[in-house]
Structure 1
Amino acid sequence: MTFPTPSPADWKALAEKGLKDRPIESLVHLDADDLAVRPLYGAATGVQPLFAPRPSDADGRAWDLRTLVEGDDPAAVNTALLADLEGGAASVVLRGTVLADSEPLSAALDGVALELAAVGLEAGLDGPEAANALAVAGKGSPRARLMFHMDPVSAFAETGEARRSMEEHLVLAANTAARHAGAYPEASFFLAGGRVVHEAGGSIGQELAFAAANAVALVKAAIDAGMTAEQALKGTVLGVAVDQAYFDSLAKVRALRLIWRSLSRAFGAETPAVIEARSSRRMLSARDPWPNLLRLTAAGFAGAVGGADAVVVDAFSRSNGRPDAFARRQARNTQLVLMEEAHIGRVDDPAAGSWFLDQRTRELAEAGWAEFQMIEAEGGIVEALRGHVIQPRVARARQSLEAALSNGAAQMVGVTKFVDADPRPAPVEPEASIVPEGGGDACVPLTPIRLAAPFEAKEAGR
């Protein structure tokens, strides 16, 4: 039996009938990048198919289940790290003063086979020093899977402070990568992150552009330090945030893969993108942390279905401090359920063939590319930050997000809707605040926000 294929005109007639007094244009919405989200997509509306799969599986798994371990005491970090690896994680990212030297870092990595479990760093502007410590901990094993994750630009953008000029920080990161490239051929060196824009309230196009411009700055510095373009590109991991808006988040990951394809071709050494997707912190609630489990599950789904090579799902209690063992286990198990029970990684590119998602991916890639070209026209990412070019654009996107929550156009479960009058707290571990050290360079910071914070403050004042 063959079924008739309705035309857009057929759909429009039925839609107008259902809308009654509302115009058909009321179904079209503009996002923070001024992209129109339409009610109907199809071959008849000019959508072109798109295929943007992750290049390969992660040691037999669809993606790398990566966890974030934060701490200052080597023994406590070691306990948490081993618990994650024994509990199903494939790799970890470390954060905290444990990265300050090779001795505490080596103690934290006691019992970890670095040839099997990849270990990454989140050390901000201290990335080169932490990278040197990790290189010592790797004991020169050529098969050690080290992820130095140096990302000085994001650290500078978030704090607005740097001890040296950013040119010096980039040179230092690049020289560190070049020095360790020979000893650790399996290592990745840079994390070209765009998450700092997302966490400050920026749009998807702005986040993609920041990641792309960040990558260009790092790769250029690495080539100047003596690395080949292919080495620099293969040693660069792209970082983006994924949140509860899973359609947009997964389209963002796919769009970043398209942008990287163009970037690597421009350097004359086309390489597949390696993407690390981390769950958004701006979407987390603090007063009632438990609904965060829903948001984090949606974010993990988006990263996996979007084709991220590695996915980091944060702990649901992260807004109140460092997560305890229970919260870390929940974060890890969220991914395990998506991977081992829901089997969402069995298809290379599950979004391919969806008219809406293919069109959305292409439009986000084009929006990101346009923003990237604007940044490059200003002299690159560092000059655009110093010149206060990026920050006002992010501020406008943030204002549109906040306005949507204020006027009811958008909702947050447990924050603006279905608010628990007597929420249960979740235990956390204390976390010391870090004061950035400046004196060498400065810009207006892209300060992280939490969208729930204003509503929680009102609730606390009642």
Structure 2
Amino acid sequence: MTEFAVPTPLEWRESAIKALKDRPLESLVHLDADQLATRPLYGAATGGEAVFAPRPSDSEGRAWDVRTLNEGEDAEALNRAILTDLVNGAASVLIAGPVATDVERLARALDEVALELAPVALDAGFDGVKAAEALSAAAKGSPRAKLAFHLDPISAYAEAGGTPGDFAALMAETPTAAAAHAATYPEATLFMASGRVAYEAGGSIAQELAFAASSAVAYVKAAVAAGLSVEAVLKGVVLGVAVDQAYFDSLAKIRALRLVWASVSKAFGAEVPAIIEARSSRRMLSARDPWPNMLRLTAAGFAGAVGGADAVVLDGFTRAAGLPDDFAKRQARNTQLILMEESNLGRVDDPASGSWYLDARTRELAEAAWAEFQAYEAEGGVIACLEGGVIQPRIARARDMAKKAFKNGAAQIVGVTKFVDPDVRPAPVTSLPAAPAVAGTFEALAPVRFAAAFEEAAQ
């Protein structure tokens, strides 16, 4: 067996200085939007204790939940799409759009779906309570139904900058509805405490994780006041994050979120493992040339799997231009199946554990997120921070930093700022429905797509 020499840090330093020629060694150190440094070399001298933050092991061999996104207005078409997904490898579905809030249409969309075997999750925004009632009706009171109500009015409030009605009343109605559904469906999860709205608006990772943690605290407090036990609420919270093509950061953020959640749940007096749903980020997608999105989505799926998300949702590669067709949906589903069944990414619990770099990155992100979370809580929590304009300027600084990096070439978007295809092949999509107008009362965390500015300039 060939043995390779292991250079000392000093020998590495001398070689690096020689290779850099006129550039200083410090040029290899990079700061992110949270002002955390990524160093060129990690080891015992710069590391600490190993971090172990795995998802709970699955005795049936499917390491994570392959969850597919289904949206649209036609219940019958949605039913065909859902059954196709479940027959061809998906473990659960996420339903968005008008069908989710209509009792009769949702029941038709879920026809022949065994809710005791295939979890159904919702993405209904301000209409979460109404959608939860529709899903409850579709489950017909089965106590073994695996429902994920995903009640999350805070994210909708943040993205819209206001609410169609009285937000305080909605926040009071939401935990009451959750408590009622929890009594009927003991295996259901109730709330989605997501930081995705912060990340999709251009926020940093620490801001995203802090937003998720502060949202979780708001939901737990409200649900306990509505009559649920602390442990029941903590078990009913799903944490949401975005994953993108920066797979090291994306998988580290998932691991960091488990550490943050451990501290949050411990503070409530009941140590409950995190349940994390990772969804591919839309801010990374290109619209003019959607084909490179397949690579981005594969990287995002890799991050979700290796980072230890319990459920992973990948968009269709054409999502930036409109609703994906059957081919794009099949690509999204099959990408995860290849990662799971051919690449075997779930065969090791927390494969990042023991990497000097990834463990250090996980710890640093968790510490930065905890500091950001404490800042939000000191100002009265995430809702007060949104209404008082505390969060928005912080996210704006992170967003501007990312935009500057793309503009000056420090960061690239393949197919948009580099390796641009002059003759793009079209991909079919269906037009996205217009979002309902909401009278804003504070600055919205509106989603951004970093490729959009370059695509508009190229027209």
Using structure 1 for the length normalisation, give the TM-score.
0.97
What corresponds to 1:49 in structure 2? 50
Q: Which one is further off, 332-341 or 9-18?
A: 9-18
The Cα of 1:47 is off from its aligned counterpart by 2.8
Unaligned runs of 5+ in 2: none
Distance 2:91 2:246 in 1: 26
Residues 302-328 of structure 1: per-residue CA shift (max 9 Å, x gap): 000000000001100001111111110
What corresponds to 2:220 in structure 1? 219
| Displaced runs of 4 or more, over 4 A | 1-5
Distance 2:219 2:435 in 1: 25
What corresponds to 1:349 in structure 2? 350
What corresponds to 2:19 in structure 1? 18
Amino acid at match of 2:130: E
Q: Which one is further off, 449-458 or 14-23?
A: 14-23
Distance 1:85 1:436 in 2: 34
Distance 2:70 2:189 in 1: 19
Contact 1:159 1:446 in 2 (8 A): yes
What corresponds to 1:287 in structure 2? 288
Distance 1:376 1:391 in 2: 15
The RMSD of aligned alpha carbons is 1.3
Contact 1:33 1:205 in 2 (8 A): yes
Contact 1:153 1:166 in 2 (8 A): no
Contact 1:41 1:47 in 2 (8 A): no
Unaligned runs of 5+ in 1: none
Using structure 2 for the length normalisation, give the TM-score.
0.98
What corresponds to 1:35 in structure 2? 36
What corresponds to 1:411 in structure 2? 412
What corresponds to 1:118 in structure 2? 119
Residues 327-378 of structure 1: per-residue CA shift (max 9 Å, x gap): 1000000001101111111000110011000000000001110110000011
Distance 2:96 2:46 in 1: 47
What corresponds to 1:66 in structure 2? 67
Residues 281-302 of structure 1: per-residue CA shift (max 9 Å, x gap): 0000000000000000000000
Distance 1:407 1:430 in 2: 33
Q: Does 1:451 align with 2:450?
A: yes
What corresponds to 1:192 in structure 2? 193
Contact 2:47 2:356 in 1 (8 A): no
- DSSP-derived class of the 2:45 partner: helix
| Closer/same/farther in 2, CA of residues 328 and 46 from structure 1, 3 Å limit | closer
Contact 1:58 1:64 in 2 (8 A): no
What corresponds to 2:365 in structure 1? 364
Distance 1:428 1:121 in 2: 23
- DSSP-derived class of the 1:162 partner: coil
Amino acid at match of 1:107: R
Amino acid at match of 1:274: I
Q: Percent identity?
A: 65
The Cα of 1:16 is off from its aligned counterpart by 1.2
The Cα of 1:164 is off from its aligned counterpart by 3.6
Amino acid at match of 2:243: V
- DSSP-derived class of the 2:419 partner: coil
Distance 1:6 1:137 in 2: 63
Contact 2:214 2:377 in 1 (8 A): yes
What corresponds to 2:434 in structure 1? 433
Distance 1:25 1:375 in 2: 33
| Closer/same/farther in 2, CA of residues 284 and 84 from structure 1, 3 Å limit | same
Task: Count residues in correspondence.
Answer: 458
Contact 1:151 1:191 in 2 (8 A): yes
Q: Which one is further off, 50-59 or 362-371?
A: 50-59
- DSSP-derived class of the 1:92 partner: strand
Matches within 5 A, 1:251-400: 251-400=252-401
The Cα of 1:242 is off from its aligned counterpart by 0.2
Residues 170-190 of structure 1: per-residue CA shift (max 9 Å, x gap): 221100110111110010000
Residues 90-120 of structure 1: per-residue CA shift (max 9 Å, x gap): 0001011112221111111001000000001
- DSSP-derived class of the 2:238 partner: strand
Residues 130-168 of structure 1: per-residue CA shift (max 9 Å, x gap): 101111110000000011001100000001121344332
Amino acid at match of 2:100: L
